[in-house]
Chains A and B, each alone.
Chain A
Amino acid sequence: MSSSASPTFNSIAAILETDFRIERSAISPATALSDLGLDSLALMEFVFAVEDAFHLRIPEDRLDPREAGITLERLCDVIDAESAPAAAVQPAEAAA
């Protein structure tokens, strides 16, 4: 489970704050993707940015950003699960 202090969560929070201009106070593990105030294209760009930052591909059946109710915590779990085989790889700087 990712908490608000997990490195994964902090990385995606930084992406949302820096690249998508979302107030840090509006970003918590329980926040649903659909409540970030991003339209569907921006949500897909956000997933692209996450994939770039973590050097991974999120399979479409694991996460459709347009699906209602997916939270940032759930996204973190997917990232952690997809990263597991290459746990030694550090995520790139989110703001890079």
Chain B
Amino acid sequence: MSSGAAHAVLAASATRAASAPVRVSGIGFVTPIGRTIEAFDEALFAGRSAVRAQTLEIEGMDPMALAVAACDFDSNGMRSTSRLPLDRGTAMALAAAQDAALEAKIDLDTIDRDRLGIFWGSGLAGAGTFDNTTSALYGEQRRMRPTTVLTVMPNAAVAELALHFGARGSAIAYACACASSAVAVGEAMRAIRGGWIDVAIVGGHDAMLTPGVMASWNAMRVMAPPPADAPSSACRPFSGDRAGFAIGEGAAALVLESEAHAAARGAEAAPFVLAGYATNCDGTHITNPDTAGQVRVMRAALRDAGIEASDVGHINAHGTATSAGDAAEAASIREVFGRATPVSATKAIHGHVLGGGGAIELIAALRALAREALPPIANLQTPDATFDLDFVQGEAREAKGIRYALSNSFAFGGTNAVIVAGRACER
């Protein structure tokens, strides 16, 4: 072979690797709609919301009526690998990652842990712990826990996961608000495609249902007031009468793996792959989303997957149910997909989990592929008349033969991330 031909072969092989699908070998999650696939699916496809009303009372302030989605999860008995207390969010991250690793049947004693990476996103990381710790400090306790820094630092969960799994390839925290875990998933895809690592434990979390953090969100005027007669209908994505989101907590994890590594360890066939990913930044405003930026990132994700818009059978929208957020996203989806592709959004049922949202919603998109059914947008009675899209309303919709689903995450700060998931057999 001439050196020119050899270079051509190498270049072709590099191109294939750069766009190769990455398999999803396992998933795990702690969410307000449950910790098991059965519970998750039941709420997802029925559009049953875990959002509840909570009155926040802070001395000297008017009581605040908030819509929140909490997890049935007790982290008190959990300890770090160093036997230190865990931030609630880190505990959720650990539980989700353990479930994902269990499903993937990863044998930590035999895999090359120099090629195992942790990619994890969180928006506010240990803010909940910091809120509790400092209120104790300024309140009655007048002392500071020696582990405060280690439990609140943005990479607290990443560090704990790396220690727990003995990962030596990489351990990187991604902090880009609502897109954090989607970016973590996507960057891990790139690391696997690039040949830097073979296996990654990826995802994200946020656990911020503490008084100071909830009051902070409420002060932004982005939280939906819970209707007295039906608090679970607080968040109404794409609705004409949408009023903002409910704040949620939770974690979701995926084990991503190269096909070659899975084959070498004799892993069972995985039903799903991540086929494409793109991230960009609006570069326009700290909170106002930009339709043009969203259009660019969705098109880039489709190109990365090597598919056309018409190949996508389902869009799991970011759908925050804020006035500006839904308007920008409805316009960007319309521009890229026309009216052809059905759109769901799931924050109405599990709340806005911020840094964990992208991973939870990606799992919702995988469940749509698995069940060949599209989840309805809970609480959506009358879509905003200016949105010309095919929203999945009322009940779940059958989607036989669906091949690809796309999950959007658009963040404060302008970071956008889009992941294209597909059936493994399509490639």
Contact = CB atoms under 8 A, between A and B. Distances in A.
A60 to B, nearest CB: 11
A42 B146 CA distance: 9
A44 B146 contact: yes
B145 interface: yes
B216 interface: no
Contacts of A18: 77
The B interface, classified by DSSP as helix, strand, loop or mixed, is loop
A21 B145 contact: no
Contacts of B3: none
Interface residues of B, number: 11
A41 B84 CA distance: 8
B303 to A, nearest CB: 48
Contact of A42 (B77, B82, B143): B82
B83 to A, nearest CB: 5
Size class of A's contact patch?
10 to 19
A42 B145 contact: no
A23 to B, nearest CB: 13
A58 to B, nearest CB: 11
A64 interface: no
A86 interface: no
A44 to B, nearest CB: 4
A39 interface: yes
Interface string B130-172: 0000000000000101110010000000000000000000000
Contact of B146 (A19, A20, A41, A57): A41
Given A42-B84, A45-B84, A20 B147 contact: no
Given A18-B77, A39-B82, A41-B84, 17 more contacts: A20-B79, A20-B83, A38-B83, A41-B82, A41-B146, A41-B150, A42-B82, A42-B83, A42-B84, A44-B146, A44-B147, A45-B84, A45-B85, A45-B147, A48-B143, A48-B145, A48-B146
Interface of A: 18-21, 38-39, 41-42, 44-45, 48, 57
Interface of B: 77, 79, 82-85, 143, 145-147, 150
18 contacts: A18-B77, A19-B83, A20-B79, A20-B83, A21-B79, A39-B82, A41-B84, A41-B146, A41-B147, A41-B150, A42-B83, A42-B84, A44-B146, A45-B85, A45-B145, A45-B147, A48-B143, A48-B145
